[in-house]
Structure 1
Amino acid sequence: MPDTQTSTTELTSQYTAQVAGDLARNTKEQDRITAEIDALQEQLRALQHDHTVLTSMQRALGATDTATQPAPEAAAAPSVPRQKTTAQSGTGKRVRAKKTATAQSGESVKKPAAKKPEAAAKATASKAAQPTLVELIRLHLTDQSEPRSAAEIATALGQAHPDRTIKTTVVRTTVEGLVAKSHAQRTKQGSSVYYTTTGTPEPATPATAPAEDQPDAN
């Protein structure tokens, strides 16, 4: 009887340890996928912003071209043939007068309309000058004299750009993408990871990274 209880206890301990390990791996995998989703959403927002700018510029250019073209009614007005009878000629004059007035009113409506897309394009173009997260990270690393962790980069960028929401997980995924493209370098000090731009010298003792910046073990 004691032998049966011992084996049952050992089996329960093994299952408990296995379940705990599987749960830890599941949690880490969720964190990794969440970081990738955040990075993709940041890239999607940048593409949508560029699409809005290009669409506004396209509309502005299209409206300007349309406004410079002569109205078809005004060009066709002189080609109306003169009528022989007095009644018909009077009707023709009234028709021509209506067409001319319509053409003039159409031109007066089109001219102000052409200014609106231009103003919208200028306002949108000013927003397009805002750098992307990738550009911000590269500029920040270039200005640094020593390696920086993802948490330090996120904190610095958040303070420099309070109007933008910058998460450490998104920064880590983005800078890893720069490392994959050889635009940045990754170094490790113990269990901490630091980043520098390509060709930037690394000091002997970089600052200690916050606990939240330690890489996940996949």
Structure 2
Amino acid sequence: MKKLLAVISFATLIALPQFCRAEDITRFAPLKAEELNPSQKAWAEAIAAPPRNAKFTNPPYRAYIRNPDLAPRLTAMTDYLRWNTSLPPRLSEMAILITARQWTAQYEWFAHYPLAIKGGLDPKVAGDIALGKRPEGMKDDEAALYDLAMALYRDKKVSDPVYKAALDKFGERGIMDIIGLMGYYDITSMTLITMQAGAPNDSVKPLPALER
């Protein structure tokens, strides 16, 4: 009897992967409208309105909606960071691209690369960010932003010269705007990576893998 149970258990272990392959799992699968509870429905309706015009079934919203208490707080940050900071789009989108590169968040890069270029960021600067190197030909404010971001991501400290350069260009409020952008899009990147959200098409060149 024990031998028979052992054979059955072994056969079950062999069979399980056929039904539980990782590629068969859709993480944070899109919910249907009729599946939403009142809190989720209220938030879904809120993000569908201008200026966001977002669908709750798209990344990262289809993950955020799983926590309707957290979701509106996250999107309130989005409203400020996307449209109301002291930074022009060229710089705010540059900060988002730097964050996407740090996480190799392909969906985030796909979504924000066109916005950065539309905002006035030189495609060559964005291209160097994608390659993981300090861009050549940056404007003074772009260099100050890049150096502050990399001091935080790479060095985990901000030197006096890097801080002074950022302070001269952005002031204390602007520095906090940059930190806020990076911090929020860190959350977004982690969400997108967890839900395995890749770029939906190849209209934007994907981020290359970087050597560790």
Q: TM-score, normalised by structure 1?
A: 0.29
Structure holding more helix per residue: 1
- Say which one has the larger Rg: 1
Bigger share in strand: 1
